[in-house]
Amino acid sequence: MDNYINKFLIYLDTERKFSLRTIEAYRHDLGKFSSFMRSIQKTEISEVTRADIGSFISSLTKSAGVTKARKLSTIKSFFNYLAQADVLESNPATHVIAPKISQREASYLNSEEYQRLMQTVRDVATPYFWQRDLAIVTIFLHTGIRLSELVSLTLDSFDLSERKIVIHGKGDKERTIPLNDEVALVIEKYLTKRPSVSNNSLFVSKLGTGLSGRSVYHLIKRYLEKAGIKKEKLGVHSLRHSFGASLLNKKVNLVVIQELLGHTKLETTRRYLHVNQDELRTAVDTLVFKK
């Protein structure tokens, strides 16, 4: 089985152009599945049954529903690949039902919290990193890009004269996001303070190396904590939620939000942006037809 897993990962890299981070996630999930199959004395890919896959998902008792769903999605992609390559006569993952995922309200910042976070960065950032950190937080909140997309930004990603940024997202898909004046200005100011290093990464450390995702993750968590903003699972992704939620509150078309966030499916955007019962009630109450 491991031989087929390796071929699948190579396919994701060379044919699908998936990011290294995504491929590593696939490797991890399929490694867990392979270990489970060995534990039940099955090592051949042809021996895997629908029941085996279901048993593996059920064995993940300490994992949240979203984690189980992700692992099942990985397994389905793997077996779809094998079926298309004629390795298997039938696909054992086809009819395995995904676990239910609880629909929790997305954690995002309201207007007051947004202002508080920005002010916190201005107040507590060290002078050396002040302009850099302000630019990072501003870009997150005004473009909705992912953490992996932010750390991949280079000096060539921006066209400040045209007020736009080119993002290379999941699956190496490219999208262009317009920049408002606030973002363009904060980037221009940061570039005047950015260390003169050979590294082409937009955001660099004091040593001149590109910032890692882990570094930015902890940076944002620190500023959120310093700002006293406490919500469930609040972190870098919350800033992406904040961008999407702000657009939704301003009545921006959901298809436009989908394009800006880089979602392949509109359904992903619908799940991503929580709509509460009060908003549903308000929408229904507007449907008043006079005779």
Q: Which residues are catalytic, by number?
A: 146, 170, 237, 240, 263, 272
Which uninterrupted H or E stretch holds 159? strand 158-159
Count each helix (H run) and each strand (E run) in the chain, helices first: 13, 3
Hunting for tokens 């066209």 — which residue is that?
159
Rounded distance, CA 56 to CA 34, Å? 10
Q: What is the DSSP letter of 175?
A: E
User: Rounded to 5 degrees, what are φ and ψ at 64?
Assistant: -70, 165
Nearest 5°: the CA angle 235, 121, 156 is 80
Instruction: Report the amino acid identity of residue 162.
Output: E
C-beta of residue 188 within 8 angstroms of C-beta of residue 196: no
